Chain A
Amino acid sequence: MNDGALLRLNDVSKHFGGLTALSDVTFALKQAEFLGVIGPNGAGKTTIFNVITGVYPVTKGNIFLMDEEITHLKTHERARKGIVRSFQQTNVFSKLSVLENLLQGFHNSFRINFVEDFFNTKKSRDKLDQLKAQALDLLRFLEMERFRDEIAGSLPLGIQKKLGIAIALAANPKVLLLDEPVSGLNPIEIESVMHFIAETVRNKCTCVIIEHHVKTVLNYCDRIIVLNFGRKIAEGLPVEISKNPEVIAAYLGEE
């Protein structure tokens, strides 16, 4: 079992009543790689993320994070162990400012007991100042400092997507699951966000991305998994995937 895999799924299945969303999916995620998950609509891409993060319990199979079984942990417990995701739709706290959004992301770094927090003791204030400084550092690093006091919901969609990823980064992930981070963006924004992920985010953690834009995934990812009807039909390097006849038939079409 110990082959250095960061995240491992063993024969994971998920049924919704009679519907099979995932069936016997097995794969391993290596440290520091950039894995893409593609497949047609309803192939089970988002379900895989929901199962890995614990939003849905698995019907069958096991999930391991660095050889520790996490199959039955709750979502927030998995997040504390390092599995963090960004969402396709609601990916920021739209009523909070950008800085506050990041502070929510730093939630687990706060670690001050309730009494100290309530009475706003020096220890608690110092910790909060420290987290604010860290949040500002992160904003500076992501070149988003000028947005710090803007309300997240009022930002352009491309910036919101970046902020969503930044919140996830604040939570100090080992594995970051990105659910269609460029959906709804125009080509320029897509380029900008993908560049951001490939150049910046990847240096901080191991990334898995779900994406509709096949070309985007083929361009940026190290390795690709193709899903169809809840099954893994192919796995390999981008060049191999783009030539795989089964994948072409199921998904890529004539391209």
Chain B
Amino acid sequence: MTGLVAVFVTLPFFLSKGWLHILIVMFFNMSYAVGLWVIMRMGYLSFGHAAYIGIGAYASSMLTTMLKVPVLLSIPISGLIAAVVAFAIGKITLRLRGIYFSITVFAFTEVVRTVWLAFDNPFGGPAGIWNIPKPSLFGFKFSSHLSFYFLTLFFFVLVFLFLRRLDKSHFGFTCLSVQTRETELLAQSIGIDTAFYKNMSFTLSCLICGLAGALYAHYFSFVSPFVFTFFLSMDLIVFIMVGGAATIIGPIIGAGSLTVVSEMALAAGYYRTLLFGILLILVIEFLPGGIVSLYHKPSKRESVGSKDERRSTPKTQ
């Protein structure tokens, strides 16, 4: 662990701008992926997290360019805005299960995108918002790639440590009782307020994505409706599936490896989506536990699926 920290702290000083950019994008993707993982591990497949990333990004862009709010203040405010929207949407959609939930949150993403496209004022329409200021702290401006590298690394590590602790808490343990409709009923019947745990997890998931999205806006200094599309939501799901959804390490490995691959294969253009699609199919077919399941032996918790057949003893009447 300390070795890893040492590498990520010293490495950037020897890297070109191009590589720093790739690593910065990687930290963004890792943050989105662990954010999405919070709700995905509860059995909810969200096709709509791009909306919350976008809401965070747009909110912070508007706060800083129009109201001149300091960047490091507007980022948390924007994250909270995304979280509030997510709380309201979650209240309605989390009652649904499976594909119904996925489709509903996807529809919301498209609604949000349409609003950004339709209103030149204040959202900038199809052209989006540009000239978004860089963050600054005590007179230091995060304008170089190197400084942004450390800012995004710091953000990601913070999110990671928070979620890892949450995962080990009793709260995180209780969340495991909600994985399918059936176990949710079981959980309710022993007194667990499942709606509360689902709402909180979805809100937290979108808060993380909103915060990361806000930071993203200040890195690129530009947001437009064409950034926060269905393809972004889909990428996040691919990251988690390829890395493995069982633990928090999976999404990080998935996002890390795929970002580097896809940024290097930038020349491939649209074929990138094709590449991801094929990869997803291959992983689901041949490595359901994701890359993580290659390294450490599948823990008991991950290997359960295969033993399920044993349950079905013949029914007697």
Residues on A facing B (Cβ under 8 Å): 53, 55, 74-76, 79-80, 84-87, 89-97, 100, 103-105, 107-108, 110, 112, 114, 117-120, 124, 128, 149, 151, 153-154, 156-157, 160, 167-168, 170-171, 183-187, 212
Contact = CB atoms under 8 A, between A and B. Distances in A.
B185 A87 contact: yes
A87 B316 CA distance: 17
A79 B304 contact: no
Contacts of A76: 187-189, 191-194
Given A90-B180, A93-B176, A96-B176, A154 B307 contact: yes
B273 interface: no
Contacts of B300: 97, 149, 151
Contacts of A75: 185, 188-189
Interface string B20-50: 0000000000000000000000000000000
B73 interface: no
B297 interface: no
Nearest to B194: A76
Interface in B147-184: 165-166, 168-171, 173-174, 176-177, 179-180, 182-183
B190 A96 contact: no
Contacts of A185: 313, 316
A128 B187 contact: no
Contacts of A119: 165
A171 B191 contact: yes
B296 interface: no
Contact of A93 (B166, B169, B186): B186
Contacts of B180: 90
Contact of B176 (A95, A110, A124, A128): A95
A110 B191 CA distance: 12
Given A84-B190, A154-B304, A157-B311, A184 B316 contact: yes
Nearest to A110: B170
30 contacts: A74-B188, A74-B193, A75-B189, A76-B189, A76-B191, A76-B193, A80-B191, A87-B189, A90-B185, A90-B186, A91-B186, A93-B177, A93-B179, A94-B311, A95-B176, A95-B304, A96-B301, A100-B173, A103-B173, A104-B176, A104-B187, A107-B187, A107-B192, A154-B304, A154-B307, A156-B313, A157-B313, A171-B190, A184-B315, A185-B316
B244 to A, nearest CB: 15
Contacts of A97: 300
B317 interface: yes
B308 interface: yes
A89 B182 contact: yes
Contacts of A171: 190-191
A117 B186 contact: no
A124 B168 CA distance: 12
A76 B194 CA distance: 8
Contacts of A100: 173, 176
Contacts of B182: 87, 89-90
Nearest to B187: A104
Given A76-B192, A84-B191, A186-B313, 19 more contacts: A75-B185, A76-B187, A80-B191, A87-B186, A90-B180, A94-B304, A114-B171, A117-B170, A151-B304, A153-B308, A157-B311, A160-B311, A167-B186, A168-B189, A183-B316, A184-B313, A184-B315, A185-B316, A187-B316
A115 to B, nearest CB: 10
B190 A90 contact: no
A75 B313 CA distance: 30
Contacts of B168: 120
Given A79-B191, A107-B191, A118 B166 contact: yes
A151 B301 contact: yes
Contacts of B183: 90, 93-94
A94 B176 contact: no
Most buried by A among B170, B189, B311, B314: B189
Interface in B271-317: 300-301, 303-304, 307-308, 310-311, 313-317
